[in-house]
């Protein structure tokens, strides 16, 4: 069987990929990469030219970006039902909100943290519109629950819950009751608990 190898750092977004790997129940290896010289070394840059973690190597395949890693693992190991099938109507919500969290949500939160202001009247030029619009849209999507695809827990929930949990911990995302309940449910999953243990939490 082809080995899955995760290159990561315990203080990085790699925790999302670690959680996703635990959800698949598939054996994998972890390579811990230190910030600084090691992450920017020629050896690691050959894997990820950005010099960032995480990176997942699976045989000849190399996947970076947490949302892509989540989607790759869900599709590569379908027996775990971590993504709706291509012909399942729930696939639309799955893709929609996975990409929403990786795009508008992360950008809106980063902009807020760094004090970037979209000039008045220019919100149409920003993919996230505004911080408030982004959070409001996600809150509406999560209200029906328990997961983004109803009763089916998916890779999108791994990614979204990670983003929300991290953001609320550091006050870059408002602590709304819908968000808090959703993250609490997700964080209680055995795979997340196992991932936290591996990352020293």
39-62 burial, b for 16+ CB within 10 Å, e for fewer?
beeeebeebbeeebbbbbbbeeee
pTM, to two decimals: 0.94
CATH of 90-191, one of 1.10.3720.10, 3.40.309.10, 1.20.1050.10, 2.60.40.10: 1.20.1050.10
User: 150-163: b or e for each residue (b if 16 or more CB lie within 10 Å)?
Assistant: eebbbbbbbbbbbb
* Residue 137 to residue 99: CA distance in whole angstroms: 13
Q: Where are the domains of the chain?
A: 4-81, 90-191
CATH number for the segment(s) 4-81? 3.40.30.10
Under DSSP, the state recorded for 116 is -
pLDDT digit string, tens, across residues 151-201: 999 999 999 999 999 999 999 999 999 999 999 999 999 999 999 998 986
- Helix, strand, coil in percent for the chain, rounding step 5: 50, 10, 40
Q: What is the pLDDT of residues 91-105, one digit of tens each?
A: 999 999 999 999 999
């Amino acid at each position: 069987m082809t080995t899955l190898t995760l290159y990561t750092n315990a203080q990085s977004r790699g925790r999302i990929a670690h959680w996703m790997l635990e959800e698949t129940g598939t054996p994998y290896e972890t390579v811990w990469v230190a910030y600084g010289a090691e992450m920017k070394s020629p050896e690691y840059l050959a894997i990820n030219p950005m010099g960032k973690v995480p990176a997942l190597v699976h045989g000849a395949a190399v996947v970076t970006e947490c949302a892509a890693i989540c989607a790759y693992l869900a599709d590569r190991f379908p027996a775990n039902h971590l993504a709706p099938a291509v012909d399942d109507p729930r696939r639309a919500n799955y893709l929609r909100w996975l990409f929403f969290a990786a795009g508008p949500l992360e950008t809106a939160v980063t902009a807020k943290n760094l004090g970037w202001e979209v000039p008045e009247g220019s919100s149409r030029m920003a993919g996230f519109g505004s911080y408030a619009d982004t959070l409001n849209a996600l809150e509406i999507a999560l209200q029906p629950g328990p997961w983004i695809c109803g009763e089916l827990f998916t890779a999108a929930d791994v990614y979204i819950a990670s983003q929300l949990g991290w953001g609320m911990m550091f006050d870059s995302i408002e602590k709304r009751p819908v968000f808090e309940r959703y993250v609490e449910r997700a964080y209680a999953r055995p795979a997340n608990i196992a991932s936290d243990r591996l990352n020293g939490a």
